[in-house]
Amino acid sequence: MADLYTRDGRPLRRSGDDLFARPGAHVARLRGDKAYSPSGEYVGTVVGNRLVYRSTESAGISSPFAESPRVGSASANAVGSALMGDEPPIPD
């Protein structure tokens, strides 16, 4: 079962502060309510149970980290959300 979804409803699995896409790719690490890619670039902000890309917050960076892939999941998509912001740049 997915812990978070992207703005458009794609499931993300959360393990501690790490976020994984459906195929198991390590796509982000949380720092507070913001998510950063393995290269340290801003990916999105957690709003409720959604990860939303907000260009006004995209100037932030974090330390890079080593990816640790997981086994993929068969989670279903959720209905899209009307939250302010865009779909985060996460591969599916």
Residue-wise pLDDT for 31-85, tens only, equals 999 999 888 889 999 999 999 998 887 777 766 666 666 655 556 566 565 566 7
Residue-level pLDDT at 57? 78
Residue-level pLDDT at 30? 93
Could you tell me which residues are beta bridge partners of residue 28? 19
Question: Taking Cα atoms as reference points, which of 22, 20, 18, 21 lies closest to residue 65?
Answer: 18
Mean pLDDT of 13-37: 90
Greater confidence, 84 or 23? 23
